[in-house]
């Protein structure tokens, strides 16, 4: 069996939402459709502010009497508190169970076969096939010669290669819309499920708005620095998030990137010249063309 790669995700926590009304409660709150999930199936989703900004992002995985939410560890207690605020009289028990679980990411050609030999709770990462499988275990997995154990930074490098943003690293919670965080590109939002918190804003952005700011892949002429500005001349048009050497993710203004390309100007971050993923620019151009009232930057 081909080797698999595994990384302990020490910055992840777990919130349990269990009880007869767990599906009904979450279905009316989160960005993705949870109806009909089978045990061990998961959806990537967010809980938004009424203004449509991402407050929390997580995986919701079905368990016997409800769901476990795989969420950033620093946000787990706040998520449990927020859900409790919405609970009212629903038959639901909500707990921060971060101390009870360890989260792992497993990827590579042998990920599925290795997972089949384990009894822990696991699910395919629903955002992108290349992201592999997640394990939620109540004890560290035993050593295995077929597994290449890696550090968290190796998982972050995988995210960079795929172009996968993560909240708190590539965008700020409470400051980004789902489209800006690429939820629409990586299966994080349903546009057909009906109402959820912030749904009207998200629907309007999907149907009527050109998304001018997104997290995109970038490449530098030298090593990139997380947290540094992406500049066009003296003006900041974005910020670098997760980096892997000269590759990285950045939240940038795509209209200003296109303007720079049209004027043959360079983007710069921490002394390195920056190129933005061509696919992101192509999608932005297509969105402009699809809306007659929108025009290309001059």
Asked if residue 195 belongs to a domain, the reply is: no
Q: Are 12 and 158 contained in the same domain?
A: yes
- For 55, 79, 169, 257, the CA distances from 72, given in Å and listed in that order, are 11, 10, 10, 31
Asked if residue 105 belongs to a domain, the reply is: yes
Q: What is the mean pLDDT of the chain?
A: 93
Contact 203, 56 (CB under 8 A): no
Task: Provide the residue count of the chain.
Answer: 298
Mean pLDDT of 278-298: 76
Q: Are 136 and 227 contained in the same domain?
A: no
Question: What pLDDT band is residue 275 in, cutting at 50, 70 and 90?
Answer: very high
Give the pLDDT confidence of 56-83 residue by residue, as tens digits: 999 999 999 999 999 999 999 999 999 9
CA distance 291 to 209: 8
Q: Are 135 and 14 contained in the same domain?
A: yes
**Domain range for residue 90?**
7-162
**Which of 122, 143, 162 is a domain's end point?**
162
Question: What pLDDT band is residue 194 in, cutting at 50, 70 and 90?
Answer: confident
Asked if residue 297 belongs to a domain, the reply is: no
Q: Are 153 and 215 contained in the same domain?
A: no
Q: What is the CATH number of the domain that holds 214?
A: 2.40.30
Asked if residue 296 belongs to a domain, the reply is: no
Q: Are 111 and 253 contained in the same domain?
A: no
Question: What is the pLDDT at residue 2?
Answer: 58
The answer, yes or no, to whether residue 190 has pLDDT greater than 70, is yes
Of 147 and 121, the structure prediction assigns the larger pLDDT to 121
Question: What pLDDT band is residue 296 in, cutting at 50, 70 and 90?
Answer: very low
The answer, yes or no, to whether residue 295 has pLDDT greater than 50, is no
Question: What pLDDT band is residue 293 in, cutting at 50, 70 and 90?
Answer: low
Q: Are 87 and 143 contained in the same domain?
A: yes
Q: Are 31 and 123 contained in the same domain?
A: yes
Give the pLDDT confidence of 224-252 residue by residue, as tens digits: 999 999 999 999 999 999 999 999 999 99
High-pLDDT (> 70) share of the chain, %:
94
Give the pLDDT confidence of 102-146 residue by residue, as tens digits: 999 999 988 888 888 888 899 999 999 999 999 999 877 666 666
Q: What is the CATH number of the domain that holds 53?
A: 3.30.70.1400
Nearest to 153 by CA among 254, 242, 284: 242
Q: Are 96 and 228 contained in the same domain?
A: no
Mean pLDDT of 145-150: 71
Question: What pLDDT band is residue 151 in, cutting at 50, 70 and 90?
Answer: confident
Q: Are 266 and 121 contained in the same domain?
A: no
List helix spans (H) across the chain: 22-27, 76-87, 111-115, 152-162, 199-208, 254-262, 278-289
Question: What pLDDT band is residue 54 in, cutting at 50, 70 and 90?
Answer: very high
Asked if residue 33 belongs to a domain, the reply is: yes
Question: What is the pLDDT at residue 270?
Answer: 94
Asked if residue 77 belongs to a domain, the reply is: yes
Total domains present in the chain: 2
Asked if residue 52 belongs to a domain, the reply is: yes
Asked if residue 281 belongs to a domain, the reply is: yes
């Amino acid at each position: 069996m081909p080797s698999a790669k595994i990384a302990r995700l020490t910055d992840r926590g777990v919130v349990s939402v269990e009880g007869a009304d767990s599906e009904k409660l979450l279905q009316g709150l989160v960005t993705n459709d949870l109806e009909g999930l089978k045990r061990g199936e998961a959806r990537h989703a967010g809980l938004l502010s009424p203004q449509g900004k991402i407050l929390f992002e997580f995986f919701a995985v079905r368990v016997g009497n409800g769901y476990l939410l795989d969420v950033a560890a620093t946000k787990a207690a706040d998520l449990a508190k927020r859900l409790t605020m919405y609970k009212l009289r629903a038959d639901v028990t909500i707990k921060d169970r971060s101390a009870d679980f360890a989260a792992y990411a497993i990827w590579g050609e042998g990920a599925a076969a290795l997972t089949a030999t384990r009894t822990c709770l696991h699910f395919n990462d629903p955002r992108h096939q290349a992201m592999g499988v997640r394990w939620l275990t109540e004890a560290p997995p035993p050593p295995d010669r077929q597994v290449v154990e890696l550090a968290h930074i190796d998982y972050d490098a995988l995210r960079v290669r795929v172009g996968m943003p993560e909240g708190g690293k590539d965008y700020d919670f409470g400051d980004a819309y789902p489209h800006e965080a690429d939820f629409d590109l990586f299966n994080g939002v349903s546009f057909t499920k009906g109402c959820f918190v912030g749904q009207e804003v998200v629907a309007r952005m999907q149907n009527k708005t050109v998304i001018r700011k997104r997290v995109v892949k970038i490449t530098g002429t030298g090593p990139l620095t997380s947290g540094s500005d992406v500049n066009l001349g003296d003006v900041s048009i974005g910020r670098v998030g997760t980096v892997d050497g000269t590759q990285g993710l950045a939240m940038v203004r795509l209209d200003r990137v296109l303007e720079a390309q049209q004027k043959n100007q360079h983007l710069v971050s921490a002394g390195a010249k920056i190129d933005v993923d061509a696919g992101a620019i192509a999608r932005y151009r297509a969105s402009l063309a699809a809306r007659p009232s929108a025009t290309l930057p001059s």
